Every structure is written in C-alpha cells, then in structure tokens.
Amino acid sequence: MSVPAAHLSSMKQSPPSAGKLWLVGAGPGDPDLLTLRAARLLATADIVVHDGLVGAGVLALIPPHVERISVAKQRSRHTMKQDVINALLVREALSGKQVVRLKGGDPFIFGRGGEELDAAREAGVACEVVPGITAAAGCAAQAGLPLTHRDDASAVSFVAGQCRDLSDQDWSGLAGHGRTLVIYMGLATASAIADKLIADGVSPDLPVAVIERGTTADARVMRSLLTDLGDLVAREKVKSPALIVVGKVAARADALDCLGAPGIAAKIRDFT
C-alpha cells in the first residue's frame, strides 16, 4: 500500500515543540480576581507578554526570574501592532517556551484573543485559553449593579464604543426596556453614543452608570441619565479605563449621583 505524499512529508517534520501559548485573562484589576489557573501559570511561565490594562497588583505576582514584555496599547498610539504581537507569541512558543499572554479582563471580550488564537493555530502552536473576569462583571459587582434583574433586565449586551464607523453600527434594540447595554472603550465617544441611542428611540431619561478603574481601590462610580452621559464624562474628567452601563439597572448602582443638571438625582431615584 502506498503512503500518500502529504503523509510522508508530515512524518519527516520535526516533533512538535514542547512550547505552548496560554491566552490568560487577568481580570479587571484586583489581583484577588485572578483565577487560580491564571495565578499558577504566572508562577510557572517562561515569559509573560502583557498589555497595559493588566493591574500592577497582578504583575507583582510574576516571579522576578520570568521574562516580561509589555505590549501596552493606547487608543491613539499602538506601541506594538497586533501582527507583531502575534509573531512574537508564535516565535517564543516555537522556541520551546511556556508563553503566557496576559490580557486585561477576559481574552475573548474585546481582547483580540481570537486573533492570537488564530495565529497560534496557523503556526501549529499549542494554545489554551484561560478565561478571566471581564470588566463588565467586575465593575458591576463592585458597584452593586446587577447586570440582569428579574424586575429590570432580562438581556445584557456588550458593545465596543470605540469601533470603526460608530454611526454605521446597528445597536437598535440593544438598549431600552428590559435590557442592559454595557459599553467598553466608550469614553471618547460618550456623547455620540448617547445621541445614537436616543436617535434609535431609547429614552433620554434612562439611567446610566459610569465606572472608572473598577475593582481597584480608587474606583469611582457615577450615575446619571442618558441625556447627560457626554457631559458627565467631561464634567467629571473620567479617565480610561471606564465602563458605561445604560439601562434601568444602572439606577441600582451604589454611586455618586452626578449631578450637573438639576433634577437628575430625583429622576434617577424614580427608577429605584
């Protein structure tokens, strides 16, 4: 029986390297919110490649002998392009290392973990994903803001506020009665987001919460109404990372009421 040529050539290849890539969620900031698996991998990795969202407390858990590379990205400035990061991860794993790619929150929620997994698969690198607590879950927990509630919301959506062609994105039906909309990366476009939702028919009086640096000791939680969202972000000089929650549940947040326009606090109270 003849052996197909493709099979022969794969038999000639060198055995798979023992290197491996782990796409690890670091959670939203507080090191106590790491999974046990993530903590174990940080202790046993050869190299940790992390982004800028990973909290200092989490980075402090990486033993000093473990090589560490930051590929921090900012909205306006990409220090390392995604394909360069992908190539770095693949190269290190192919050289036989245990590579931990540490990402804020969960690797598969606005984390480009899918692209890194694709790159690993294409290169034949073994890759495993370790989920993390995404910012929405961590921030909501800290703010005492249930993302779903039997009385208020039976659906929750996560959207990226800083996405290509915001105005072309169809968000209709994602916010409004019985729904919670969580916006990641929405600070720079907060005003445009509020306008877009209101134009789609969402009530301008729907409560919103803005949570800055959620799960950390210096977190700030602010509440207002959708109509005030852009002003609130400007007035309070909200800084990244911050999350915006739109929906009736936002009125339940344990938060400062903000508070520019008169009557907002009373209107929020009407929802609670």
| CA–CA dist 94, 228 (Å, integer) | 51
Residue of 20, 30, 51, 267 marked active site: 51
Residue of 46, 73, 200, 205 marked active site: 73
Shortest approach of ligand SAH to residue 9 CB, angstroms? 39
Nearest residue to ligand SAH, using CB?
105
165 is a catalytic site residue: no
229: nearest Cα among 255, 199, 253, 198: 198
The backbone torsions φ and ψ at residue 42, rounded to the nearest 5 degrees and listed phi first, read -60, -35
Shortest approach of ligand SAH to residue 219 CB, angstroms? 7
Give whichever of 131 and 176 is closer to ligand SAH, judged by the CB atom: 131
Q: How far is CA 174 from the centre of its chain?
A: 18
20 is a catalytic site residue: no
* Contact yes or no for 206/267 (Cβ under 8 A): no
Antiparallel, parallel or unpaired: β 67-70 and 153-160: unpaired
- Exposure of 143 by Cβ count < 10 A (0-12 exposed, 13-18 middle, 19+ buried)? buried
Give whichever of 19 and 25 is closer to ligand SAH, judged by the CB atom: 25
Give whichever of 97 and 127 is closer to ligand SAH, judged by the CB atom: 127
User: Where along the sequence are the contacts to ligand SAH (CB under 6 A)?
Assistant: 28-29, 53, 103-106, 109-111, 134-135, 139, 184-185, 211, 213-215, 240-243
Query: Residues with catalytic annotation?
Result: 51, 73
